[in-house]
Amino acid sequence: MNQVQVAIDGPSGTGKSSVSKLAAKEHGWGYLDTGAMYRALTWWCLDQGIDLTDQQAVAEAGRTFDLRMGTDPSAPSVAVGERRIDAEIREPALTEQVAAVATNLEVRANMRDRQRALMEQLAQETGGVVAEGRDITTVVAPDAQVRILMTASEQARLARRSKELSSTVEATRAQIVDRDKADSTVSQFMTAADGVRLVDTSDLTFEQSLAAVLQIVQEAIDAGERE
Ligand SMILES: Nc1ncnc2c1ncn2[C@@H]1O[C@H](COP(=O)(O)OP(=O)(O)O)[C@@H](O)[C@H]1O
Ligand SMILES: Nc1ccn([C@H]2C[C@H](O)[C@@H](COP(=O)(O)OP(=O)(O)O)O2)c(=O)n1
């Protein structure tokens, strides 16, 4: 198989980002965190004083901002122009506002184009790409050789996120479950689309989740080589 595109979707706390990074690293491929792109646009709009409820203004900002994604899985980064915003885009106050941007359909259309172009470029440069988000298996790269939906019980997802954020499960629930609900209005990422492999990480260790994803990737590579 010449170039391998791996698309991974799922709700928050299933292990998408951490597993995707290591899977990309394992193969020496590029890594694309599409959620970080929506976060970056949210940061840019807030920085520029753009009202997030002004759909036209946000869409225009999305078309024109100078987004620079660092796609090395060992050190992914996000910048707008020369300004690095890796920490800023993870702030809880920003996280609460991302859904307003991610549910803007004009923004989604533009992000889809940017993401397709980046996936294409990374696959050419490094032989493969792992892209993760909410609509990669269905909208951005429905023809990817590997398509995986990661799921986990709400309980497992909340426990992981609250540990990561050092906050209570209740506070995390407000952030995560409500955001997933808002995001679900524009992308379908709670159940696997046709042909998408399901990896339920509820009862897996992190290493087992990674192994499950790597095995699916390897099966696709082997099948491609036999063709
Ligand atoms: N079985 C597991 N599979 C994947 N991640 C796990 C698992 N158990 C715990 N984690 C941890 O859960 C946290 C959330 O993972 P992350 O990759 O950020 O999820 P997502 O990108 O889906 O929101 C990470 O700190 C990760 O190490
Ligand atoms: N392909 C994508 C990726 C993320 N999003 C949305 C979903 C979330 O509200 C934000 C941020 O996504 P991100 O994956 O960084 O969020 P979590 O890791 O789940 O906290 O963007 C999307 O709509 N489509």
- Return the HEC string of 104-142: CHHHHHHHHHHHHHHHHHHHHHHCEEEEEECCHHHHHCC
Range of the domain at 143: 4-221
Residue 145 in any domain: the answer is: yes
Residue 226 in any domain: the answer is: no
**Does the CB atom of residue 107 touch ligand 2 within 6 A?**
no
CB 180 within 8 A of CB 12: yes
Residue 159 in any domain: the answer is: yes
Residue 30 in any domain: the answer is: yes
CATH number at residue 213: 3.40.50.300
**Does the CB atom of residue 189 touch ligand 2 within 6 A?**
no
The number of angstroms, rounded, from the C-alpha of 184 to the middle of its chain's C-alpha atoms is 14
Report how far ligand 2's centroid is from the alpha carbon of 224 (Å).
30
Q: How many domains are contained in the chain?
A: 1
Positions of the chain with pLDDT lower than 70, given as ranges: 1
Cα separation of 84 and 89, whole Å?
10
Residue 141 in any domain: the answer is: yes
Residue 227 in any domain: the answer is: no
Residue ranges lining ligand 1, Cβ < 6 Å: 10, 12-19, 160, 164, 201, 204-206, 209
ipTM: 0.95
* Whole-number pLDDT of residue 168: 79
Atom of ligand 1 nearest to the CA of 208: 1
CB 154 within 8 A of CB 144: no
Query: What are the tens digits of pLDDT across the range 213-226?
Result: 999 999 999 998 87
What average pLDDT is seen over the chain? 94
**Does the CB atom of residue 62 touch ligand 2 within 6 A?**
no
